[in-house]
Chain A
Amino acid sequence: MDLTGGPFWFLMGVVFVVVAVGFHAFARDRGWVVTWWKALLAVIWYGILCTSFFAWGTLIGENEAAAGFKLFLIGIFVSIVFGVALVRLMAHSTR
């Protein structure tokens, strides 16, 4: 499959739906009340995480693997900090 073409991104969209459904089940298990803006924050968080992986790969493709890994680590650090804050926010109001 062409990893830069439309079908690939369509597949990524399908997988994202699966991830979103999984998150919804996870949130219900925890008793989180996921309002629209909390869901938006979760999507942004997931976007940052995905972008970190994508950026890492792009720099590997440009023969800048070391720089890519450092950029990935920065992305992961941001994701962890943001993720912890997001979990605390989600857990703040439970059913």
Chain B
Amino acid sequence: MSEKKTAVSRRGFLKIAGLTGAGFQAGALIGAGVAAGKDSESYTGWESFNPGTQFFDRGPFEFDGPAHLPVGPVRRPSHTTDFVFGRVATFERACKENPDWTLEDPIEDLGLVPDLVEFYKRFPERLEWDYRTISETVPTSREDRKKYENYYKLAEIYSNGFTAHGMHLPKPHDPPEVSDFQMGAGSHTEPIGEAVPFKSPELAAEFIKELAHRYGATLVGITRTNPNWLYTDGWRGCPRDHDFSPLPEHWEFAIVIGVPMEWDVILSSPQFSTSYDAYDRVSTVAVRLEGALKYAGYPARAHTPMTGYDLIVPPHAVEAGLGEVGRTGFCITPEVGGNCRMAIVTTSLPLATDRPIDFGVAEFCAKCKLCADSCPSGAMSKADSPDGMEIRGYEHWYVNNGACYNYWRESMGPMGCRQCVAVCPYSRKDNWLHDVARKIDPRDPTGVASSSLLWMQKNLFPYPDAAEYRRPPTGRFASFREPPDFLVAERYLAVEIVRPKEG
């Protein structure tokens, strides 16, 4: 009797099993991909308090530095002129006191301080933008906010929670020589005690970095404070006639810390995003670190977004090895790109300093230009190279902070823009897909990897036209990406909501 043949042979069964396995694997990998894309672990630095957030191996990209070499006469920054918020506020006050003044009139008629008059004569485009901000943009924005306010209400509520906390952080009320040597706050201040000696600057740096991460810093680096990057005026706690020329001796070291803004929120820039989440968090970290240093017996001062700065941060961050300055003018880091708000704690505790890094930002920025193309106010240079451009004596891509600030005042929601942060290809979360790019691009000397990645960035991902971010009728108050669900007002609020694109 012949053996009955089975319907499927053994080999046929294996083939079917293999094919089924491949189909299953394809489906499972899509599911795993979705999970990886949503994974909270990929939100670098967001509410994490461990050193693992600084995951990029900087070693191969370090160089001796300094990263900044003067290309002309060096000038220190000024709160009165370079600091756009202070400048426009001063200009606005002067214009209110002289309501008949127009751009056609001599700038001297406004009664501004000589430094600001000289600045406006040197940079007439800043004067034009600042004037446009207060004469056109602020009034129209007031009307826009009346009309569209409810649509952005939840974003404002979210942002203001951070602002409310940040405003309570302690600020120095005396000059550095006094307040940096005092602990406590208000009437409960006392001089710092005897300094606790560390075994070595290396171990001190290791300890301080560990503390910074545990206090909430996503990134931390250490460099020497550069006197060229101190403000020439307006140090906190100092009278107007204070001698701002020397670097206080106890500001020898600058501990630079950074945290990102919330990832889903920053992608909904300009209208729904806020800086205040990261402002508040990085300021809190810096104040904690200042307190710890003082308790250890070392004078310290936190320079933060919520309590004010006596020096500028980005060049210090670059020298501390946190990243490189890009076309946008801020420090672009390997871990979080430009999505980073920074603070500095100056101290005299002897610390081993970090070395600057070169991981290819300069070359990438030269060909990318996504930030400049997406900038609603056209504030950034679209040139192929920063050659011939400088800021206060150092080579630097041109950024017109008057134009930038103009759109700050035009935008809806918690105010500000951050569009250049959102669109920057370096500002990406920590998952396998972006980590592949992070690892390959800096190690490719040919530039093929960065060109390929850039091609994909520009051709696979949608980028609204820069004009769409503007107010109607020029634009539609677009956002780079839709806001996260928790900021959608229609979902939560029982109020009348007018969407800008609906008029």
Q: How far is the CB of A12 from chain B (nearest CB, A)?
A: 6
Contacts of A57 in B (CB 8 A): 29-37
Q: Are A21 and B14 in contact (CB under 8 A)?
A: yes
Indicate which residue in A29, A49, A55, A56 contacts B11 across the interface (CB closer than 8 Å).
Answer: A29
Known: A4-B36, A22-B16, A22-B21. A58 touches B433 (CB 8 A): yes
Is B39's beta carbon under 8 Å from chain A? yes
Q: Mark B26-62, 1 if CB is under 8 A from A, else 0.
A: 1111111111111101000000000000000000000
* Residue in B closest to A14 when the chains form the complex, CB atoms: B21
Q: Are B35 and A3 in contact (CB under 8 A)?
A: yes
Is B451's beta carbon under 8 Å from chain A? no
Q: Mark B372-393, 1 if CB is under 8 A from A, else 0.
A: 0000000000000000000000
Q: Are B26 and A53 in contact (CB under 8 A)?
A: yes
Q: Are A59 and B37 in contact (CB under 8 A)?
A: yes
CA distance A34 to B235 in the complex (A): 74
Q: How far is the CB of B456 from chain A (nearest CB, A)?
A: 7
* Residue in A closest to B456 when the chains form the complex, CB atoms: A71
Is B19's beta carbon under 8 Å from chain A? yes
Q: How far is the CB of B489 from chain A (nearest CB, A)?
A: 19
Contacts of B28 in A (CB 8 A): 3, 8, 11-12, 15
In A1-43, the 8 Å CB interface with B consists of 2-4, 8, 11-12, 15-16, 18-26, 28-29
Indicate which residue in A18, A46, A58, A74 contacts B33 across the interface (CB closer than 8 Å).
Answer: A58
Q: Are A3 and B17 in contact (CB under 8 A)?
A: no
Is B461's beta carbon under 8 Å from chain A? yes
Indicate which residue in B21, B429, B459, B482 contacts A18 across the interface (CB closer than 8 Å).
Answer: B21
Contacts of A71 in B (CB 8 A): 456, 460
Is B22's beta carbon under 8 Å from chain A? yes
Q: Are B433 and A59 in contact (CB under 8 A)?
A: yes
* Residue in B closest to A17 when the chains form the complex, CB atoms: B21
Q: How far is the CB of A41 from chain B (nearest CB, A)?
A: 17
Known: A3-B35, A57-B34. A50 touches B29 (CB 8 A): yes
Indicate which residue in B18, B36, B456, B462 contacts A58 across the interface (CB closer than 8 Å).
Answer: B36
Known: A15-B25, A58-B433. A22 touches B33 (CB 8 A): no
Indicate which residue in B15, B21, B25 contacts A25 across the interface (CB closer than 8 Å).
Answer: B15
Known: A16-B25, A50-B26. A58 touches B432 (CB 8 A): yes
CA distance A24 to B21 in the complex (A): 14
Q: Are B36 and A19 in contact (CB under 8 A)?
A: no
Indicate which residue in A25, A46, A53, A63 contacts B30 across the interface (CB closer than 8 Å).
Answer: A53
* Residue in A closest to B14 when the chains form the complex, CB atoms: A25
Indicate which residue in B32, B429, B431 contacts A3 across the interface (CB closer than 8 Å).
Answer: B32
Contacts of B24 in A (CB 8 A): 15
CA distance A2 to B38 in the complex (A): 12
CA distance A86 to B264 in the complex (A): 42
CA distance A71 to B31 in the complex (A): 16
Q: Are A63 and B32 in contact (CB under 8 A)?
A: no
CA distance A22 to B19 in the complex (A): 7
Contacts of A64 in B (CB 8 A): 461
Q: Are B33 and A54 in contact (CB under 8 A)?
A: yes
Task: Identify whether the interface residues of A are mostly helix, strand, loop, or mixed.
Answer: helix
Is B481's beta carbon under 8 Å from chain A? yes
Task: Identify whether the interface residues of B are mostly helix, strand, loop, or mixed.
Answer: helix
CA distance A68 to B29 in the complex (A): 13
Contacts of B27 in A (CB 8 A): 53
Contacts of B461 in A (CB 8 A): 64, 67
Which of B15, B432, B456 has most chain A Cβ within 10 Å?
B15
Q: Mark B330-358, 1 if CB is under 8 A from A, else 0.
A: 00000000000000000000000000000
Q: Are A53 and B29 in contact (CB under 8 A)?
A: yes
Q: Are A18 and B462 in contact (CB under 8 A)?
A: no
Contacts of B14 in A (CB 8 A): 21-22, 24-25
* Residue in B closest to A16 when the chains form the complex, CB atoms: B25
Contacts of A53 in B (CB 8 A): 25-27, 29-30, 33
Contacts of A4 in B (CB 8 A): 32, 35-36, 39, 41
* Residue in B closest to A20 when the chains form the complex, CB atoms: B18
* Residue in A closest to B22 when the chains form the complex, CB atoms: A19
Contacts of B481 in A (CB 8 A): 63
Q: How far is the CB of A78 from chain B (nearest CB, A)?
A: 12
CA distance A89 to B39 in the complex (A): 40
Q: Are A25 and B18 in contact (CB under 8 A)?
A: yes
Q: Are B33 and A55 in contact (CB under 8 A)?
A: yes
Q: How far is the CB of A62 from chain B (nearest CB, A)?
A: 4
Contacts of B36 in A (CB 8 A): 3-4, 54, 57-58, 61
CA distance A64 to B456 in the complex (A): 13
Contacts of A16 in B (CB 8 A): 21, 25
Q: Mark B1-26, 1 if CB is under 8 A from A, else 0.
A: 00000000001101111111110111
Indicate which residue in A58, A61, A70 contacts B460 across the interface (CB closer than 8 Å).
Answer: A70
Question: Which 3 residue pairs across A and B have the least CB separation, nearest first?
Answer: A22-B18, A61-B37, A57-B33
Other than the known A15-B24, A26-B15, A49-B26, what 5 A-B pairs have Cβ atoms closer than 8 Å?
A11-B28, A25-B18, A54-B32, A61-B34, A62-B37
Which residues of chain B have a CB within 8 Å of any CB of chain A?
Answer: 11-12, 14-22, 24-39, 41, 264, 429, 431-433, 456, 459-462, 481-482
A-B contact pairs, 13 of them (CB 8 A): A4-B32, A11-B28, A21-B14, A22-B18, A22-B21, A25-B11, A50-B25, A50-B26, A50-B29, A58-B432, A63-B264, A63-B482, A71-B456
